[in-house]
Structure formats: C-alpha cells, structure tokens
Structure 1
Amino acid sequence: MKVHHVGYAVSDMEKSVLEFEALGYTKSGILIHDVSRKVSIQMLKNGPWEIELIAPLSAESPINNILNKNNNTPYHFCYCTASIEKTIHVLRSKKYVLIEPASPAMAFNGHLAAFLYHPNIGLIELLECN
C-alpha cells in the first residue's frame, strides 16, 4: 500500500501551522472542523510529503489522549487502499485490531477511512483512494 500522509496530533492548530509553514510546508486545502470526530484537520504539503494536523475541538476529543501522553507528535501513517473492507479483513487476519470502523471522512471528501492497531507498529489509518 502507498503512504497517503502522516497524522500529527497538535494542541494549537494555528501555532502548529505557522511552524510547519516556516519549515516549507504549504496548506493543501481548507481547515476542516469534523464535529462528529471532535477534531479540526489541516492538510499540509512539502514536496511529496503530506501531513495531516489534527487538533481537538473539545475536551471530549479522542486526540486529547495522544496529546496528554505525548504532547504534539506524529501518531499514525495513513495508507491508500482500493478496497477498505477487503484490506481490513486481511489486516485483521494478521492480528491488527480494528479501532474505528470505516466511515466517511470529511477531510478526504467523504472517502472511507478506518483505524487499526498492531502492537508491533502502533496505529495506522486506511483511506479508500480511487
């Protein structure tokens, strides 16, 4: 599978965007407020590299668990797949645990996204890409 982006948990979206822009990244899209997932998302690009900044929208946001343990940090790789359900099935047979089932992701034009965990590599995201 091809890497789509790296997910990066941040506590302050505006300050983090400014720092990444100073490193040569540019915004690739608008700031998304995904109320259902309780996060705001900003995609940034630097050459072939794309990162997804994810900040909490509320105290109940699941991203706070990561921020409380690690402060601002990269925390997942996202991989493109042609068939998310098929890939989930294959990965679950290899001892990956489904953390969040496939559902439409606002930040990716409604394409299906899912999160899985494996103790040897941590959290990954799957994104159904065309």
Structure 2
Amino acid sequence: MLEKIEHLGYAVENLEAAARFYEERFGVEVGEPEEVAEQGIRAMMFRVGESKIELLEPTREDSPVGKFLGKRGPGFHHVAFEVEDITSALRELKDSGVELIDEEPRVGAGGTRMAFVHPREAFGVLTELVERPNGKR
C-alpha cells in the first residue's frame, strides 16, 4: 500500500523564519508558500533526496496545527506516505478496523488528495496518506 515517504510535516510558528533557516543553514531551495484554507495552514515544501519536508504554519489558533503548537510547541507534526490509490487505501484500512481521522480524501497542498490516520492507530504518530495528482512526483 505505501509507495514511499512523501514528506515529513513540521509545525512552525513563523513560516518565513523556518524557510530562511533551512535555506541559509542547509542550502535547500524552499518552494513558495501555499495556503490550504480548509486545514487552516500555510505550507512550504523543500526536497531532501526523494522525500520532502513540509513546513506548516497555522492561519488560525483553532486549526489542527494551531492546536498542536499550543499544546506541544514547534516540531515534528506528521509523516506522510504516498499511496497509488487513496480511496482504496482508506477503504482497506477502515475495513480492517483502523480508526481514520478522514474517511474520505481531502484536497491538500500541491493539489494532492490526502487523508489522516488517527495517531492512536499508528503508535502515536499522526500519519497522512497522499495521492499525487495525475501521477505527478
């Protein structure tokens, strides 16, 4: 079911400061910010080999990332795995009794289809499944 690690999500309080840190200290090229209004975030991505890091800044305190920052502070937020067919993956997980946050895919950053598995089911790790649009990598 899992194709590869698509990205790791980091919750940050200041998107531009975090991007600048990775650009200046590690020499990466961070993409342009993208707002995902439904999730209450602004996100920026950069590549590390075949995977990516997603920097997440909440646009409102009551968003999931806003709540995370309020409770835990900045840091690792989630791991995202690429899947070929997210609808089938979600159905298979649900049929096997796995608790999902999202039973239907939503639109995520970069036009992906995405959904979250509850961290209780993944040993405390918030897990995102991502289907790339039209097979894009």
TM-score range, shorter chain: 0.7 to 0.9
Displacement of 1:94: 4.3
2:33 alignment partner in structure 1? 31
SS state of the match for residue 25, structure 1? Answer: coil
Once the two structures are overlaid, the 10-residue window that deviates more, 4-13 or 46-55, is: 46-55
SS state of the match for residue 56, structure 2? Answer: strand
Long gaps (5+) in structure 2 = none
Long gaps (5+) in structure 1 = none
1:123 alignment partner in structure 2? 126
Question: CA, structure 1 residues 80+49, in 2 after alignment: closer, same or farther (shift >3 Å)?
Answer: closer
Displacement of 1:25: 2.3
User: CA separation in 2, counterparts of 1:94 and 1:7?
Assistant: 26
- Taking every aligned residue pair, what percent have the same amino acid on both sides? 25
CA RMSD across the alignment: 1.7
Q: Which amino acid is 2:15 matched to?
A: M
SS state of the match for residue 98, structure 1? Answer: coil
SS state of the match for residue 6, structure 1? Answer: strand
Displacement of 1:37: 1.4
Greater strand share, 1 or 2?
1
Displacement of 1:78: 0.7
User: CA separation in 2, counterparts of 1:103 and 1:119?
Assistant: 20
SS state of the match for residue 35, structure 2? Answer: strand
User: CA separation in 1, counterparts of 2:61 and 2:106?
Assistant: 22
Q: Which amino acid is 1:46 matched to?
A: V
Q: How is 1:107-118 mapped onto 2 (pairs within 5 angstroms)?
A: 107-109=109-111, 111-117=112-118, 118=121
Could you report, residue by residue, the CA deviation over 1:51-81 in whole angstroms, capped at 9, with x for unpaired residues? 0011011222221121122211112111111
Aligned equivalent of 2:8, options 6, 9, 12: 6
SS state of the match for residue 90, structure 2? Answer: helix
